[in-house]
């Protein structure tokens, strides 16, 4: 059974992997045997994370690019795909959030969030799938959100992007499935990441999360790694177009 979850011999690119959920998924995939390529915008932080994985006996490297820059991002994926090991797994995880009341929400901020959280997943997947088709197998995993299916005020761009991401996920699953490529989404609930640091410290919001989550707490970033390994592994070979919710049960109470 353990072989079903092994990623030995696979190469995985994880965007937004220098911290938070991306870093957790990268660590978990490295522990499962994959060579992980960590993406971010800053070389120094990526290099430190790569060393951490290597010090633990894993295999890792990094690729510096901004997912919001299509030319830069597509070129990087092309280089990885053309390498000797190619690309087996793409995790579209990089994301940003902008909070504002609707009356003050600028169109430029809306567009910026959609470009990073949704549009980049389209062109990165488009760039990556060709090498996967040639191999006859592949995994695309998109970091969605419980906001793919529910809404919250002051974050319309984030909610719209995450809802759109599941539409993209299902469309890719339908088109790429015949080539042996699955495409699935992970929908995290509220995790105590750097991105949510201000919310964790907000007593009112913290109480809301803990009260509305049946497990009574925020998620720990380490608790997302297993879901990513599952969807990337042979254990999930017949899972396609699915949204795997990892939220402590919160979505069932909203």
**Domains along the chain with CATH numbers:** 2-188+224-245 (3.40.50.720)
Question: Which residues are annotated as catalytic?
Answer: 158
Q: What is the pTM of this model?
A: 0.96
Per DSSP, the chain holds a count of helices (H) and strands (E) of 9, 7
pLDDT band at residue 195 using 50, 70 and 90 as cut-offs: confident
Phi-psi region for residue 226, left (φ > 0), alpha (ψ -120 to 50) or beta?
alpha
pLDDT digits (tens, 9 = 90+) for 18-41: 999 999 999 999 999 999 999 999
Structure tokens at 234: 């042979």
pLDDT digits (tens, 9 = 90+) for 118-159: 999 999 999 999 999 999 999 999 999 999 999 888 999 999
């Amino acid at each position: 059974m353990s072989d079903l979850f092994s990623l030995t011999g696979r190469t995985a690119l994880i965007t937004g992997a220098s911290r938070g959920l991306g870093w957790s998924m990268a660590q978990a995939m490295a522990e499962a045997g994959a060579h992980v390529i960590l993406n971010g915008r800053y070389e120094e932080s990526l290099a430190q994370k790569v060393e951490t994985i290597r010090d633990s006996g894993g295999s890792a490297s990094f690729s510096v690019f901004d997912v919001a820059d299509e030319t830069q991002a597509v070129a990087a994926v092309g280089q990885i795909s053309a390498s000797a090991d190619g690309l087996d797994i793409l995790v579209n995880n990089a994301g940003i959030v902008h909070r504002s009341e609707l009356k003050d929400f600028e169109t430029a901020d809306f567009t910026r969030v959609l470009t990073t959280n949704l549009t980049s997943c389209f062109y990165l997947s488009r760039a990556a799938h060709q090498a996967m088709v040639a191999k006859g197998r592949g995994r695309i995993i998109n970091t969605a959100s419980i906001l793919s299916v529910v809404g919250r005020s002051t974050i319309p761009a984030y909610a719209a992007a995450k809802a759109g991401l599941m539409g993209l996920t299902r469309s890719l699953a339908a088109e790429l499935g015949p080539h042996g490529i699955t495409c699935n989404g992970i929908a995290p609930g509220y995790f105590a990441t750097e991105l949510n640091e201000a919310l964790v410290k907000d007593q009112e919001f913290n109480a809301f999360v803990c009260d509305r989550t049946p497990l009574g707490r925020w998620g720990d970033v380490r608790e997302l790694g297993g879901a990513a390994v599952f969807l990337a592994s042979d254990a999930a070979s017949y899972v396609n177009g699915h949204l795997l919710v990892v939220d402590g049960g919160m979505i069932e109470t909203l």
